[in-house]
Chain A
């Protein structure tokens, strides 16, 4: 769940009144927590650094992961005002430029290899203040981190339109052929140089991998060859936005065009509020290599019809059609009863890309109704309980390759082990194929405990198995270890006898190998082994005492 930080005083100013903390907490929209910048810094960096920070009260608000419309102050305030019936949800409109042709972004075919999609729009006659500007930048960052999947799916570029001139070209070039002065730098770099420059940048280095190994890098030029941006890494310095910027050109390049449209809609619906014609957005044309032309932003309103009976039935309430239409309208979903039975027509605005099914509308109705106001009921579902013979244990499932192979004097290829491709530590290289190493490591970590140590575990191991759909299966094992000054083989042997007695197995016989290990046969089938551990194995697990152990497959007995 993303967290949005808003300054309390700004929030109240925007709402036109103050609210008590507890009131905000009770709003089912929000889950807020009061804190100040000072507190955050002092928590994260220590008191000494916090002394200079402001005492401004910040609200940290948890926003549902898919509610991109609540990621900035503008959207939050709008949502709250509509919810409180103090504002009618604005209608967002795409308009043609008052004079001349719309801005054009032409995509060339080279982009297909790296980042094939782009969308664009213009915010005309916008007025920035420091707070609005900060919020504008912050929203881009929030969108980049969430829906844009750290810029891999979508990257946003915003530009001062008055510093550049269309038509714009979105193309892709070998990194050596791209050269420009990037944002907040003083000289020009080639794309190759930039990639090494940003290797150490704490923020930008996380995005380099998206294009690093591609033969060509995406780049956007204006008609004079000025670089607007090299997505998804950095914008050009030339077209950067300032507080004085009046006209903003927004481009989003993407690997997922659906997400790009949502991101563009989100940017323009949130900030068109500050345009001279509020909530209007000037269209831009995007021309694909095949000549197809699209107008953006889409700002599509979609209509859904559903019955109030559906909502009542799914939520478990009993409200009139009109009441439910009101609830939905307060959630920015303009709704009205159509008069045909209990039918409600719901309009989904471009800000609510999260509504993809009637069940989402139902959930919004429940949220507006208040989850805590829904009467709690018990499902009538009549069932008879059954249990799976089950055990489990507390040793870890994953371990290092060494634990199940080298340390037990086996080759890893003999183990039928399942291998993990992306472990963060060596402790997660494989899923265990035997329970013994876990118990031996437990003893090693508890050597201070009085002897003898007797440990057992009943749990699953994982083995490769071609016959299964995923190519592997679990197998339930029983393992016991006796650790003392003498190996105590008889203890382990006695445990086996007792286990077999409890499992009502009569025909157990152990074939003793020359030496001190025995194989366990049940009904003629080998199910495991018991014996005294080899001193080398004891040493490899950093143990010092003799040790006897038993491990067997108990799958046949389940």
Chain B
């Protein structure tokens, strides 16, 4: 806040005039620095429309340091002239004076002095005229008294060239009365306080306007990872379609449930060390439903249930191997087996959870990701039903070209019948990854920025809510 004294004086000055005052003139008349007046103007502006201040800029000429010296003591040439006595002065003596060199050449060209080079004891300087007219000094004095207008442009430029004058731009305010002009000032309040509300003083208060250009303070809130946001949307879609979520909290699975029960042969490349994480501890699963296991073994090695089978030597050792599950279909298999042990009722299941593949990592592949899976089991389901439900699902998702996004199909009888499901029950299923749609939705190119500890927290903070249909 500027000096209140200055502010009040300024207001009284404005009160007296009809139109307004120039801040520079005010400064001159009060004998204070211009910046003090500028400060007062700024603080009055902040209070609202007490004054109106129009910024003006003007150019004017000012003496340089050298120019000031000349205005006071005379030009160098004049000082040279006056320092020469009647009997003359040795040139070497003159040159010792501070103004000697410049003054000598100017005085010479003005023909005020002459040099007697043949003088005994070195060149000597004599006056050639009685008196001189120091025009430079007079011009500078005019500038100093702010009577610049009396000088010709050419003269000013000449002096500028001699670095005696400089042209400066001065900013000043033209200050006049504002709409709510008053000579008494009330301090503006920054915030409404409980007291103001209680005693009604807010009615008299003026409030400082907010700066709506500035950013607000970021709310102190949590941020959900984009994957979680997309996951919530997928769950919502499944729940709307009447699907029940499967418990998927078993990352460690036996090869039996992950592969064999799905009628995936034991030599299948997916069961290779290069594709699946096997466990060294605990290396083997030790408990299986024995009669079911026998039926699985038979359908692989000999066929049955209307199938030729794969006709190979099925080994329990292979089925026992523990792995990190490679798909959530292992969970679906357990659920369907469980279902087959009861009186069959139609079900619609879904799950969204982690699966693991021993992949070589790159920008789009990670060794672990989330799989979304939907399963419908009922009497007499058709391929048309599969395509219909996929269409519904992906329409809700807002995806037209769904064929490329996921996998889908009908579970084979060799998988379902050994479980004990009724023969006329069909199971349709489809799956896709959670990461892929999330990356598309949030424009993320490198999966490692999305998942894992290298996640970019700024991205987590900034990502908008997920509305898949939009």
Residues of A within 8 A of B (CB): 149, 152-153, 256, 258-259, 313-317, 356-359, 366, 371, 374-388, 390-398, 418-425, 428, 431, 438, 441-442, 444-446, 449, 453-454, 456, 460, 462, 464, 469-474, 476
* Distance of A135 Cα from B46 Cα, bound (Å): 87
Chosen A-B contacts, 28 in total, with CB atoms closer than 8 Å, are: A256-B267, A256-B312, A259-B312, A313-B382, A314-B426, A315-B383, A315-B384, A359-B410, A376-B391, A377-B384, A379-B388, A381-B378, A383-B243, A385-B244, A392-B370, A394-B450, A394-B451, A396-B368, A396-B452, A398-B324, A442-B453, A449-B458, A460-B354, A469-B286, A470-B322, A471-B285, A472-B252, A473-B249
Q: Are B245 and A386 in contact (CB under 8 A)?
A: yes
Task: Say whether A470 contacts B310, CB under 8 Å.
Answer: no
Please, how many angstroms separate the alpha-carbon atoms of A420 and B276 in the complex? 10
* In contact, B279 and A445 (Cβ under 8 angstroms): no
Contact partner of B356 (CB less than 8 A), chosen from A398, A444, A464, is: A398
B387→A371 contact, CB < 8 A: yes
CB contact between B252 and one of A378, A391, A396, A470 (< 8 Å): that residue: A470
Report chain A residues within 8 Å CB of B450: 394
- B362 close to A (CB within 8 Å): no
Number of residues on chain B facing chain A (CB within 8 A): 90
Q: Say yes or no for B282: interface residue by CB 8 A criterion.
A: yes
Given contacts A464-B282, A471-B252, 11 further A-B contacts (CB under 8 A): A256-B267, A258-B310, A314-B382, A382-B242, A394-B225, A396-B368, A397-B251, A422-B273, A446-B457, A449-B458, A470-B254
How far, in Å, is B463 (CB) from chain A's closest CB? 12
Decide if A456 touches B222 in the complex (CB within 8 Å).
Answer: yes
Whether a CB of chain A sits under 8 angstroms from the CB of B454 is yes
B139 at the interface (CB under 8 A from A): no
Q: How far is the CA of A383 from the CA of B284 in the complex (A)?
A: 37
Nearest CB in chain B to that of A444: its residue: B453
In the complex, are the beta carbons of B309 and A356 less than 8 A apart?
yes
Question: In the complex, are the beta carbons of A393 and B225 less than 8 A apart?
Answer: yes
Q: B252 to A314, Cβ gap below 8 A?
A: no
Interface on chain A toward B: helix, strand, loop, or mixed SS? loop
Q: In chain A, what residue has the closest Cβ to B389?
A: A379
Inter-chain contact total with CB atoms closer than 8 Å: 228
Could you tell me the distance between the alpha carbons of A384 and B456 in the complex, rounded to whole angstroms?
Answer: 39
10 closest residue pairs by CB, A with B: A316-B384, A316-B382, A471-B282, A441-B453, A421-B280, A376-B388, A469-B287, A474-B249, A356-B308, A472-B252
Closest to B247 in A: A388
Q: Are B251 and A383 in contact (CB under 8 A)?
A: no
Q: Is the CB of B310 within 8 A of A383?
A: no
Contacts of B100 in A (CB 8 A): none
Smallest CB–CB gap between A259 and chain B, Å?
Answer: 8
> A389: nearest residue on chain B (CB-CB)?
B245
Instruction: Tell me the B residues contacting A by CB distance below 8 Å.
Output: 222, 225, 227-228, 231, 235, 238-254, 267, 269, 273, 277-288, 303, 306-312, 322, 324, 346-348, 352-354, 356, 358, 360-361, 366-368, 370, 376, 378, 380-385, 387-389, 391-392, 410, 412-414, 426, 428, 450-458
Kindly report which residue of chain A lies nearest to residue B289, judged by CB atoms. Answer: A469
Given contacts A366-B383, A383-B346, contact A419 B281 (CB under 8 A): yes
Which listed residue, B251, B282, B306, B453, touches A395 by the CB 8 Å rule?
Answer: B453
Q: Smallest Cβ distance from B97 to chain A, in angstroms?
A: 66
| Complex-state Cα separation, A385 to B383, whole angstroms | 23
Across the interface, do B277 and A383 meet the contact criterion of CB distance under 8 Å?
no
Q: Which A residue sits closest to B460, measured CB to CB?
A: A394
Contact A418 B252 (CB under 8 A): yes
For A317, what are the chain B residues with a Cβ–Cβ distance below 8 Å?
Answer: 384
How close is B19's CB to chain A, nearest CB, in angstroms? 52
* Complex CA distance for A152 and B269, rounded to whole angstroms: 11
Q: List the A residue with the shortest CB-CB distance to B238.
A: A385
CA distance A317 to B273 in the complex (A): 42
Smallest CB–CB gap between A324 and chain B, Å?
14
Q: In the complex, which of the residues B227, B249, B380 contacts A313, with contact meaning CB atoms closer than 8 Å?
A: B380
Q: Is the CB of B376 within 8 A of A394?
A: no
Per the bound structure, the CA–CA distance linking A317 and B249 in Å amounts to 39
- On whether the beta carbons of B242 and A383 are closer than 8 Å, the reply is yes
**A420 contact set on B, CB distance < 8 A:** 277-280, 324
Closest to B380 in A: A313
Instruction: Chain A residues near B370: list those with CB within 8 A.
Output: 392
Shortest Cβ distance from A528 into chain B, in angstroms?
18
Q: Kindly list chain A residues whose C-beta atoms are within 8 Å of the C-beta of B348.
A: 381, 383, 385
> B389 contacts which chain A residues (CB < 8 A)?
378-379
Is there contact, CB below 8 Å, between A442 and B457?
yes
B324–A392 touching, CB < 8 Å: no
CB <8 Å contact, A449 and B457? yes
Q: Is the CB of B368 within 8 A of A357?
A: no
Alpha-carbon distance A265/B286, docked complex (angstroms): 40
Q: Is A394 within 8 A of B228, CB to CB?
A: yes
CB neighbours (8 Å) of B227 from chain A are 392, 394
Q: A245–B286 Cα gap in the complex (Å)?
A: 56
Q: Which residues of A contact B267 (CB under 8 A)?
A: 149, 152-153, 256
**Interchain CB contact (< 8 A) of A386 among B244, B384, B414:** B244
CB of A334 to closest CB in B, whole Å: 18
Q: Tell me, in angstroms, the Cα distance from A358 to B241 when the chains sit together.
A: 31
**Could you say which residues of chain A place their CB within 8 Å of the CB of B238?**
385
With A314-B382, A316-B384, A422-B358 given, is the CB distance from A464 to B281 under 8 Å? yes
Question: CA A316 – CA B231 in complex, angstroms?
Answer: 32
One of A314, A357, A428, A456 near B383 (C-beta < 8 A) = A314
Q: Is the CB of A474 within 8 A of B251?
A: yes
By a CB distance below 8 angstroms, the chain A residues around B248 are 388
Can you name the residue of chain B whose Cβ is closest to the Cβ of A146? B269
Please, how many angstroms separate the alpha-carbon atoms of A398 and B388 in the complex?
38
Identity of the chain A residue whose Cβ is nearest the Cβ of B351 in the assembled complex: A388
B246: chain A residues at CB < 8 Å are 388
